[in-house]
Amino acid sequence: MNRLPIFIIFSAFFLLLSYFAFSSIDFIFDQHVLAKSIFGSLVIIAVFGIYRGLNQFTGKPRTRGANFLIGFAFSFFISVLIYSIGLLIQNIIKGAVAMAMWDRSIYEHPIFWSNVAIFAIVVVLFLSMIYGITGGKYNYTVANVKVKIKNLPEVFRGFKVAQISDIHSGTFDSVQQVKKGVDLINAQSPDLFLFTGDLVNFNKDEIDPYIDTFSKIEAPFGKFSILGNHDYYGMAAVPENQRGSYWKEFDQKHELIGFELLRNENRRIAKDGQHFNLIGVENWGTGGFPKTGDLTKAMIGMDTEKPSILMSHDPSHWEHHVLKTKQIIDLTLSGHTHAMQFGINTKWLKWSPVKYRYKRWMGMYQENERQLYVNRGFGFLGFPGRVFMWPEITIFELEPMK
Instruction: Residue 293: give its domain's CATH number.
Output: 3.60.21.10
Residues 97 and 141 in one domain: no
pLDDT at 95 exceeding the cut of 80:
no
Residue 236 identity (one-letter amino acid): A
CB 393 within 8 A of CB 188: yes
Residues 232 and 271 in one domain: yes
Residues 360 and 232 in one domain: yes
Last residue of one domain, picked from the residues 84, 104, 131: 131
| 72 Cα distance to chain centroid | 18
- For residue 8, the 8-state DSSP code is H
Last residue of one domain, picked from the residues 131, 162, 197: 131
**Strands, E, within 259-362: which ranges?**
260-261, 265-271, 274-280, 308-311, 331-334, 344-345, 350-351
How many other C-beta atoms can be found within 10 angstroms of the C-beta atom of residue 177?
A: 16
Q: What is the mean pLDDT of the chain?
A: 90
| 98-112, 188-202, 340-354: the lowest-pLDDT one | 98-112
pLDDT at 35 exceeding the cut of 80:
no
Residues 88 and 143 in one domain: no
Residues 120 and 144 in one domain: no
Please list the residues that pair with 394 across neighbouring strands.
143, 163
pLDDT at 276 exceeding the cut of 60:
yes
Position 18 scores a pLDDT of: 78
Residues 143 and 96 in one domain: no
C-alpha to C-alpha distances, 256 to 54, 112, 264, nearest whole angstrom: 32, 61, 21
Residues 29 and 169 in one domain: no
As a whole number, mean pLDDT of residues 117-140 equals: 94
CB 380 within 8 A of CB 391: yes
d(CA 336, CA 212): 24
Residues 185 and 36 in one domain: no
How many independent structural domains does the chain possess? 2
Residue 373 identity (one-letter amino acid): Y
Position 56 scores a pLDDT of: 62
Residues 179 and 105 in one domain: no
- Residue 143 sits in which domain range? 136-401
Residues 165 and 24 in one domain: no
Residues 149 and 123 in one domain: no
Residues 119 and 177 in one domain: no
The SS3 of residue 21 is helix
d(CA 352, CA 343): 4
CB 280 within 8 A of CB 311: yes
As a whole number, mean pLDDT of residues 258-283 equals: 98
CB 370 within 8 A of CB 323: yes
Last residue of one domain, picked from the residues 93, 114, 131: 131
As a whole number, mean pLDDT of residues 281-308 equals: 96
The reported pTM is: 0.91
- For residue 385, the 8-state DSSP code is S
